[in-house]
Amino acid sequence: MSRGGSRLGAGRPGYKVKAEHLQRIDVRDWARRDLLMPGSGFSWSWHRGETQTGSIGVSVFSSHAVTLRYTHTFNGERHTVADDVSIVRTACAYGGSRPWFGCPRCSRRVALLYLRSGRFACRPCQRVAYSSQSDDSLDRMWRKQCKLEKRLGENWQRPKGMRWRTFDALRQKIWDLEGQRDDALAVHVASLLKLGAW
């Protein structure tokens, strides 16, 4: 289906595995915490609430490579994996360097690697999509409205220091989005009535 299904304003199909549902590692986070010191090692874990959902051991051999050690279960058998991942560094404009992972499959320079089918790799190699990529038009409107509402105070109050002109423009954008959603709902209901679904 080119429109992604029969949902109202449906976009792309939602059958791909979502990045938000996978365990991932972020080289930027490790760099901020000074964990990429050559000769060091550390363990990294993921949690859902209070429950630990997974962990890996990381050995930093040099400023250009790390080894990820972990186990995963496949067909009821536990397998121990040791993945070597390169660290690529790019120069920053005002000195220093920024680290990136070199994807173990395609060598693409990325900040995030995702764990799927027992291996870490970049998002394109793992065939992973973001949840927002399968949003329909109404979901996109809701997402946009949430971003705008975060800029306002509680109960849509003007935050201290915000100009009145900015505050009025934000509220107008929110009202416009609500009007667009109402129009889309009216069109959808009319099409259902025409088809005799109700």
> Which pLDDT does position 1 carry in this prediction?
39
pLDDT at 73 over 80: no
Mean pLDDT (the chain) is: 83
How far is 118 from 74, CA to CA, in rounded Å?
Answer: 8
- E strand map for the chain: 17-18, 24-26, 41-48, 51-62, 65-74, 77-91, 97-102, 109-110, 112-116, 119-121, 128-129
What is the percent of the chain where pLDDT is above 90?
Answer: 35
Given a cut of 60, whether residue 185 has pLDDT beyond it is: yes
Q: How far apart are CA 111 and CA 102, in angstroms?
A: 9
The model's confidence at residue 182, banded by pLDDT at 50, 70 and 90, is confident
What is the amino acid identity at position 72? H
3-state secondary structure of 136: coil
For residue range 46-70, what is the model confidence (pLDDT) as tens digits? Answer: 888 888 878 899 999 888 899 999 8
Confidence at residue 67, expressed as pLDDT on a 0 to 100 scale = 93
According to the model, what pLDDT value does residue 143 have?
Answer: 79
Cα gap 157→167, rounded to integer Å: 9
Choose between 194 and 70: higher pLDDT: 70
d(CA 143, CA 10): 15
Q: How many CB atoms lie within 10 A of CB 153?
A: 12
At residue 14, the pLDDT reads 52
Q: How far apart are CA 101 and CA 104, in angstroms?
A: 9
Mean pLDDT within 17-36: 87
Q: Each residue of 104-149: pLDDT tens digit?
A: 999 999 999 998 888 899 988 888 876 666 666 777 788 788 888 8
